[in-house]
Structures are given as structure tokens and as C-alpha cells.
Amino acid sequence: MDLQHLANIAIEAALSAGKIIQKYKDDNIAVEQKEGGSTYASQVVTKVDRECESIILSHLIPTCKRFDIGLLSEETNDDGSRFKKPFFWCIDPMDGTLAFINKHPGFSVAIALISRDGMPVIGVVFDPSTETLYHAIKGYGAYKNRRRWKIKNSNKHLTYITDKKLSDTPNFTKIQNILNTYKSNLALKNIKEISGTGAVMCAILVIENGPACFLKLPKKEIGGGSIWDFAATACIYNELGIAATNFKGEILDLNKEGNTFMNHEGVFFANLMLNSKK
């Protein structure tokens, strides 16, 4: 299987979806609710999400037939092909729908190719707000706007990236203690917060604002993001050599059975290197 060829197709699909998002970004879009997790953010959907999915599938479905690839996409029922095929496409047509509705930067397109055992081998993210493309291919590195991406951490503070403000987060104290521990261990001056973006851009902003982290604690309630919220960025992190794990520091379960939600294990995306150029 030619991963570079498939990555180019995924990139074109993401850019096409990005154009749709840009067309609607200043409009007042009707909001619908769908079955989702326990949070409002996981339940909102718009016609933009669906149009993005349609254009992405027009690019990817031919590859499914040609290369025997399965499919998992947020706005389409899971057909179980991800458990039968050697690889499957994992698509978030527009992550951060709530940010998009609120006209707040932090929405993006995310496409990953994942092996049946849960290993991401292609990750593509497009940020329509800044027209920035991020992608990675297993064994070939990570790229920003098609140039090799090198991490440059220069902050003297720890940045906590979050979809929901820390003060509004359950287990606020536990997360605060975790952040304080990292701040102390890294001898950083203080902690700053960037909030209100979707999970995909949270992970990207961690790389862009190091030292930084984004995390979700394990919980009983259905939610915590879905496979498609973390798959593309997990591939990018793997190629950059930084942590994209579950909360315990173990490999993310990116092809779990039962449902797609990640609440059972939580997530931890971290870029905690100091003054590094990787």
C-alpha cells in the first residue's frame, strides 16, 4: 500500500472540506442535535458537517474499493468495516463544531488512516481559520504546510490547552494538581490556559505552544471525545516523537469495540520538551 499516495488523496479531501467551512464561516448556521456523548459539544451538528463529510467521502471511497480499506466517519453510522479490513479511514469532517457555531477559531478537518490493530499510519489536519495544513505519514515524519515540522519550545510557562475552561471542568482540582506538578518539575514560572477549541486543534496547539499539554481524565460517562478526535493528531505526535497516549501513558486504543468514545481511558497529549528543536 502506497501511504504517500493515500496521504496526498487525504490532503486533497481535507482541503476540499476546508473550502466548504470557509464558505460558511461567517454565516449563521442552523444547529441540530444528534445522539452523542454526555456533553453538548458532542451532540451538535450542522449542514456544514454533512457537506464536509460528503466531499471527503467523494475523495476517499474510491480508495476503499481499490485498496480494500474500511471506513469510520463521524456523521455516518459505524458499519464495522474497521474490524474487518487491514486499514480504515477515520474521518472528522469538522471537528470543533461548537467553536464554529460560536465563530471562535478552533475548528478543523481531520482524516487518519488506521491499521486494524489501532496504529495510525496517516494523519491529516487542516485549520481553515489560518489555512494551515498539518500531516504525517508513519516512518516519513510530520509536516506543516508540506515542510518538515520541527518543534520549537521557547515559553517559560506551561500552557494548558483545553476545549473547556479548567474552571468549568469536573475534577478541576485533580487537573490543577497535575499541571502544578509539571510546572514544578520543569521549573516553569506559571501556567497559562488556551481554551475553547475542538480536540483536534487542542492537540495541534500543544505542539505550537510548548511546553504544553492537553488531557482528558477517564470517566464513566459516555464521551471524552471519539476515535476521530485523536487519530490524525496521534499520527503527527508519533512522528514528532512526543506523547499521544491514554491518561495512563499507554498506547491509545484507536480501534475499540462497543463504541467510538474514549472516556474509558482518557487521553494525554504532551509537548514538554524545554528549549528544544526536534
pLDDT tens column, 231-242: 999 999 999 999
- 193 carries a ligand binding annotation: no
* Range scoring the smallest mean pLDDT among 30-39, 62-71, 93-102, 174-183: 30-39
Task: Tell me the pLDDT tens digit for each residue of 114-138.
Answer: 999 999 999 999 999 999 999 999 9
What is the rounded distance in angstroms from the CA atom of residue 251 to the CA atom of residue 177?
23
Fold of 3-148: Fructose-1,6-Bisphosphatase; Chain A, domain 1 (3.30.540)
- 74 carries a ligand binding annotation: yes
Q: Where are the domains of the chain?
A: 3-148, 158-271
With cut-offs at 50, 70 and 90, classify the pLDDT of residue 278. Answer: very low
What's the confidence (pLDDT) of residue 34?
78
- For 66, list phi and psi in degrees, rounded to 5: -75, -40
- For 91, list phi and psi in degrees, rounded to 5: -125, 130
What is the rounded distance in angstroms from the CA atom of residue 50 to the CA atom of residue 173?
38
Class for the domain spanning 158-271: alpha beta
- 92 carries a ligand binding annotation: yes
What is the rounded distance in angstroms from the CA atom of residue 165 to the CA atom of residue 13?
32
Which has the closest alpha carbon to 211: 151, 266, 163, 166? 151
Please, how many CA atoms are within 13 Å of residue 277, restricted to the half-sphere of its CB? 1
Q: Are 214 and 203 in contact (CB under 8 A)?
A: yes
208 SS3 class: helix
167 SS3 class: helix
Task: Name residue 112's beta-bridge partners.
Answer: 90, 123
- 95 carries a ligand binding annotation: yes
What's the confidence (pLDDT) of residue 134?
98
Question: pTM surpassing 0.85?
Answer: yes
Place of cell 506543516: 144
